[in-house]
Amino acid sequence: MIHEVDAALRAVIVQGALPGGGVDVAMEAPTSEWAARRTGPAVNVYLYDVHEELARREVGPVSVRDERGATVALRHPPRWYRLSYLVSAWTARAEDEHRLLSAVLGTLIRTEALPREHFGPLLGRAAPAVPVSVALRADRDRPVSELWTALGGRLKPSLDVVVTAPFPVGVDLGVGPPATGLEVRARTVDGGAADVRTGPHRLVGQARGAGA
């Protein structure tokens, strides 16, 4: 699932903020070693944290229904995870970095959810929408300076981008075909036999008791 979110987020940035090409989109850690290997302008999209969105956890399987409303399978609800990305721009001049970062910000604030055309098979199966938030300080668990220090690089302007995505728990569980009728056999209180048959819409019965 994570690699599908990576690919979808990359596609959004490339198509929305970098339509002319010529700017690389890298997903490696933006360390000093990576910066030294860079040969041209780049936007770095680094996944630095993954944790579960516990408020969205559901317990127990849910029914999967066909077009007639009949249950055809049981499915465990997906677990939702917050994928936090550190997005930064890299060029030879600070002004150009700010223009790149501005273009990325403008694209992402118009992207409330990842477009479905960029979904891979897991995302397409697990959720109708995958929300995206950008530049919300409340989403950062630690100061930005501490994160850059951990990466061994110098502090740069950056965007926090959080994608809340589902992760399938397991395969669907098959169920039997829907019941089309019910037959109940019982005895009357005076010892006589009674056959009672019920269908989906009506009750059909023939009772046989003593003296009937």
pLDDT band for position 207 (50/70/90)? very low
pLDDT band for position 142 (50/70/90)? low
- What are the angstrom distances between the C-alpha of 80 and each of 17, 49, 70, 131? 27, 14, 27, 11
Q: Write down the domain spans for the chain.
A: 2-174, 180-212
pLDDT surpasses 90 at 133: yes
Q: What is the pLDDT of residue 64?
A: 62
pLDDT digits (tens, 9 = 90+) for 98-118: 999 999 999 999 999 999 999
Q: What is the pLDDT of residue 71?
A: 63
Q: Could you count the other beta carbons within 10 Å of the beta carbon of residue 131? A: 15
Q: What is the pLDDT of residue 69?
A: 65
Say whether 70 sits in a helix, a strand or coil: coil
Sheet bearing 42-52, strands edge to edge:
24-26, 42-52, 79-90, 159-167, 132-134
* pTM reported for the whole predicted model: 0.73
Distance of CA 112 to the CA centre of its chain: 13
pLDDT digits (tens, 9 = 90+) for 41-60: 999 999 999 999 888 777 76
